[in-house]
Amino acid sequence: MGELRDRMEADLRVAGYRESTQRIYLRSVKGFAAHFMRAPTELGAEEVRSYFLHLTERGISPSTQRIVRASLAFLYQVTLNRPHEIIWLPVAKRRKPLPVVLSPSEATELILAIRSPKYRVIVLSMYGSGLRVSEACALKCENIDSKRMVLHIVDGKGGRDRYTVLPQYLLRSLREYWRLARPKGPCLFPGRFSGSLHPSSVQSVIREAREEAGIRKPVTPHTFRHSFATQLVQDGVNMAIIQVMLGHASLQTTRRYVHVSVPGLGETPNPLDRLELPDPSF
């Protein structure tokens, strides 16, 4: 793929794709070519159909198939200028499970189980400000506006900048962390060698804290962002404001938290509890 790979990489840069997205797209196209052991220039619609049938039969998730489709769409529509090879291919439908959220008590237990000040403050920023883990890891001092009590998120998902809330407890925690760590360079949470901390490190710490706290839910860094949004919905915060704080391009994406936040659902009277049944004994 030598020359073609270079052309596609250049096209991705011109289009403004992030480096991480460029790597994913190029890797997906490489996998497509390797499957047929031929250059993509020699492959067309029939091979595309065959490849996606292969992915489906292997049980590759719809989300991954959508990424592969987007990669091949860029290759054929932009780099090769042959859109007819891919434009017909339907987008794989994916499940839309409800987000996993933590109760306030679960969030408290999990946060307290994180001993490292650095990682605890990162988690606090995700839970208190609705940040994605990559956004939390990339925070800089200049992003903190303590006078307006907001965080300025620069170059978030989709290249969008936004402001989100800065809670008092998070601000105090950030200041205490700074007093203890005195990080060098622009990043508040520097990585081991250079730049900002890698999100995978946060994932590992959260996994350990979840086990220590005895929480059975499948907790990931994004769970704290989901919990932030769900609590705001439950508290009656305007949906448009939540959309701005989360950085969603579409209000429809934000509205899914309505289905998670159902006040009083757990206390709803149930007909089964009204039956005069003996204590369960099997």
Output the CA–CA distances (angstroms, integers) from residue 232 to 195, 220, 228, 274, in the order listed. 32, 19, 6, 34
- Give phi and psi for 88, each to the nearest 5: -75, -20
Closest of 39, 64, 40, 42 to residue 52, by C-alpha: 64
The residues that are catalytic are 132, 157, 222, 225, 248, 257
